[in-house]
Amino acid sequence: MRSIIDTLDLTTQELDELIAAAEDIIAHPKQYRDKCNGKKLATLFYEPSTRTRLSFEAAMYELGGQVLSVPGADLSSAAKGESVADTAKTVSCYADIVAIRHFSEGAALVAARNASVPVINAGDGGHCHPTQTLADLLTIHREKGRFDHLTVGLCGDLKYGRTVHSLINALSRYQGVKFILISPEELKLPEYVKTEVIEKHGLAFEETVSLEEALPCLDILYMTRIQRERFDDIETYNRLKDSYILTAEKMRSASADCKVMHPLPRVNEISVKVDEDPRACYFKQVENGKYMRMALILKLLFENGEKTAQENYFHNAVCKNPRCVSSTEQELEPLFKRSADGSTVRCAYCEQIAESES
Ligand code: NCD
């Protein structure tokens, strides 16, 4: 039994296999329509969602399986104060596989450690969103034919945008990828992603506030929404919300094969006029997401995969991140891990730098 908390839980070979499996599903959908007969997927969504939830559910139905879900977190026992751990134990009694979206960073890891069936992270706060990355990777593969040597511009809310964190985790393992990080000062990519993902893999990145300057040199422009729900004060959100608006006019300075991606929903960061541009790929991402989720569900249900490798966790440090599940859940065992070079200690749930216990 194996769970997927981030894209790093899958090797690059496994990503290639998932892409090949999704392509086969696209080519021969009828051959897959009974594969999950008798199997049930539970969707536990504690945050709003249209695409992710519906694509998980559509994926399971198209595989011949069934879906269990609560209409919303406010109608589940979470509203009565049930912990993520207890919910995960409970749902394991009913379902064969679980997809969870939660507002706390690290909640999917808590669910995976307590469930007795595979758990898929469908987004944990501002932390990670691996199945959006699977949709993104299939899209990049179909549109560009490769992952190596791409210049990828990520634009918008790089601080709280979990899709950005997971996509960088995935792309950092390919050769010669260069990241152009386009964001306002307040919404820059978290340090741990820069140092322990991009730099650790010896890849280059540049930070800029200017979309216009970055646009001409990009192979991919990945736009993101400013994540209003993660801001503590609405004034800061209001000041930053229109930082970047991609228009048809701006697209004139992009290269002829620069692909524009966005995990959606968009608010106003891409003008609807750009939708007519053949370089716009965001609705293709939506469709690709369903096929990759079908491939992932099949892998987790039917491959005798090993349990996700157990890290060497320790307990005597303190996580001060108020958005971490270790702050929002009671009586949760604190878990910490050391960076590869031993220099930093991070919370295993949210990956923020931890403080030593005094
Ligand atoms: C993203 C998410 O939930 O993080 N949406 C999605 O799953 N397709 C992006 C966002 O909400 O901005």
Tell me: the pLDDT tens digits for 84-118? 999 999 999 999 999 999 999 999 999 999 999 99
Instruction: State whether CATH 3.40.50.1970 applies to domain 136-282.
Output: no
Residue 309: the pLDDT is 58
Residue nearest to atom 7 of ligand 1 (CA): 52
**To test ligand 1's pocket by mutation, which of 50, 52, 157 has the most ligand atoms within 8 angstroms of CB?**
52
Is-catalytic flag, 129?
yes
Which residues in the chain belong to E strands, given as ranges? 40-45, 66-69, 97-102, 119-124, 151-155, 178-182, 204-208, 220-223, 259-261, 317-318, 336-338, 345-347, 355-356
Residues 6+ positions from 331 with CB-CB distance below 8 Å = 83
Q: What average pLDDT score do residues 116-135 get?
A: 97
Question: Does residue 123 have its Cβ closer than 6 Å to ligand 1?
Answer: yes
Residue 358: the pLDDT is 63
Q: Which of 2, 35, 40, 51 is catalytic?
A: 51
Question: Does residue 225 have its Cβ closer than 6 Å to ligand 1?
Answer: yes
CATH architecture entry for 7-129+287-302: 3-Layer(aba) Sandwich (3.40)
Beta-strand relationship, 66-69 and 119-124: unpaired
Tokens 């945050």 belong to which residue? Answer: 47
Distance of CA 288 to the CA centre of its chain: 14
Residue 176 has pLDDT above 70, yes or no: yes
How many CB atoms lie under 10 A from the CB of residue 75? 9
Question: Does residue 285 have its Cβ closer than 6 Å to ligand 1?
Answer: no
Half-sphere exposure of 111 (CA within 13 A, CB side): 34
Is-catalytic flag, 80?
yes
Residue 134 has pLDDT above 60, yes or no: yes
Is-catalytic flag, 101?
yes
State phi, psi for 46 to the nearest 5 degrees: -100, 10
Tokens 């969504």 belong to which residue? Answer: 45
Q: What average pLDDT score do residues 8-36 get?
A: 97
pLDDT one-digit tens code per residue, 241-281: 999 999 999 999 999 999 999 999 999 999 999 999 999 99
As given in the structure block, the two tokens for residue 35 are 């594969």
Residue 255: the pLDDT is 98
Most confident of 6-10, 222-226, 309-313: 222-226
How many CB atoms lie under 10 A from the CB of residue 342? 7
pLDDT band at 357, cuts 50/70/90? confident
Residue 339 has pLDDT above 90, yes or no: no
Kindly list the domain boundaries of the chain, sorted by start residue.
7-129+287-302, 136-282, 317-356
Q: State the closest ligand 1 atom to the C-alpha of 52, by its place in the atom list counted from 1.
A: 7
DSSP reduced 3-state for 154? strand
Residue nearest to atom 8 of ligand 1 (CA): 263
Residues β-bridged to residue 220: 152, 259
Residue 77: the pLDDT is 84
pLDDT band at 306, cuts 50/70/90? low
pLDDT band at 126, cuts 50/70/90? very high
Same fold, 7-129+287-302 and 136-282: yes
Residue 307 has pLDDT above 60, yes or no: no
- Per the omega criterion (within 30 degrees of 0), is the bond before 265 cis? yes
